Amino acid sequence: MSDVTTVPNATQAKPKVTHKLVSLCFLSLILLGFVYGIYQIFSQQLIAKGIAPWLNGTAEKQLDDKLMLPGYEQFQTWDAAWRYRLLGQLGPQVQQGCPGWLFYTDGLRSPIVDPLQALKQRVLLMQSLAARLRTAGLELLVVAVPDKSRILYEKLCGLHRPPSTQAILHQWGQAVTAQHIPYVALVDVLATNPTGNYYRTDVHMTQTGAAQAARAVATLARPLVDGQGDTSYQITKATHPEQRVGDLLTLAGLADAPNGWRPPPDQYTPETFSLADTGGGLLAEDSPIKVLLAGSSNSRRSNFAEQLSRDLGQPIWNLSRDGGKFADALSNALENQADWPKSLKLIIWEMSEMSLYAPLTEGEKKSLENL
């Protein structure tokens, strides 16, 4: 009986070799990335700067920027573009109602907290802030900007607002007026021309919508600042409409995508408001500034503050903040109350509808604990 020599099957050995090569490639990439990361840490002197940059997030941000692979942003744009073009997807933060009309997802989903409970807590904060301003001899006017999905419900096309938030804006208005505080909800104002008052690809009001909102606020604010002032603006209007990429396109990752691979951007004609130089600056000792505006990004877009200033005839000190949430801008402004000009008479506090039932921020929780 002869010995039989078994020859290993070459095709069975190849996968093992292939797996080893793939593993070595991935290990090499990991090591390369590790070495590159260490190099960037030392090249940016992030170690020498101590622990503070790591605690406040500055170091991580710098490192993320440096570790960004070449072409990664373009890859993200094209990934978002083909998903929209072929699958109609806009990512988790943006939804499309009727064709071309984009909405912020958070305005359409049920709140993660009890909206009524959140509202009650914010009413307590409002009462505390209002009392503090009254003690300082200052008037308060509250402005709530309705969510785009409330005003443009006819453009939702199958999307739905959560029923639990429907009555919150009205209840907030009742709570404010119960404190004898002037209040502007803007719902009726912006509902008169809904498609002209909000951008299609942005959550904010258009210049037209902001102009209507400013007129409504000025009507209530005027008696609180001794009537119409004499401040005037020079308004320069562009000669041709321009393309405006809204924040919802940016959230969907499509800000830099070519047309045809994203919902069409808005078209608008920019207006520039120029306030005459009075000399000495807005907050000079003899400055006649009477109005402080503390709000959200709504007060920083579409020339809302400038149009309000024009309608009041009063210069406006705008301390609004992007992502200002419910009272962040006003609370931060109050931290420097000692530096406010003595001529100040009126605080206009603006917030978005969604901020009324969003989860409480850490600052709001701390403020409630101190009440």
- Domain locations in the chain as residue ranges: 114-244+264-369
pLDDT in the model for residue 11 = 45
pLDDT in the model for residue 138 = 98
pLDDT in the model for residue 307 = 97
Distance CA 250, CA 245 (A): 7
pLDDT in the model for residue 10 = 46
Distance CA 174, CA 157 (A): 31
pLDDT in the model for residue 7 = 47
Type of residue found at 273:
F
Pairing mode of beta strands 139-145, 271-275 = unpaired
pLDDT in the model for residue 282 = 58
pLDDT tens-digit profile, the chain (371 residues): 445 444 445 444 455 566 677 778 778 777 776 676 566 555 555 455 555 554 555 655 665 665 555 677 888 899 999 999 999 999 999 999 999 999 999 999 998 889 999 999 999 999 999 999 999 999 999 999 999 999 999 999 999 999 999 999 999 999 999 999 999 989 999 999 999 999 999 999 999 999 999 999 999 999 999 999 988 889 999 999 999 999 999 999 999 999 999 999 999 999 999 976 655 455 555 558 999 999 999 999 999 999 999 999 999 999 999 987 899 999 999 999 999 999 999 999 999 999 999 999 888 888 888 88
pLDDT in the model for residue 118 = 94
pLDDT in the model for residue 369 = 87
Distance CA 294, CA 133 (A): 13
Distance CA 205, CA 298 (A): 7
> For the packed helices 115-135 and 328-335, what is the interaxial angle rounded to 10 degrees?
30
pLDDT in the model for residue 67 = 55
Structure letter (DSSP) for residue 360 = P
pLDDT in the model for residue 43 = 56
Distance CA 123, CA 326 (A): 11
Distance CA 238, CA 244 (A): 13
Whether 146 and 197 have beta carbons less than 8 Å apart is answered as no
pLDDT in the model for residue 74 = 87
What is the phi/psi pair of residue 236, to 5°? Answer: -110, 125
pLDDT in the model for residue 97 = 97
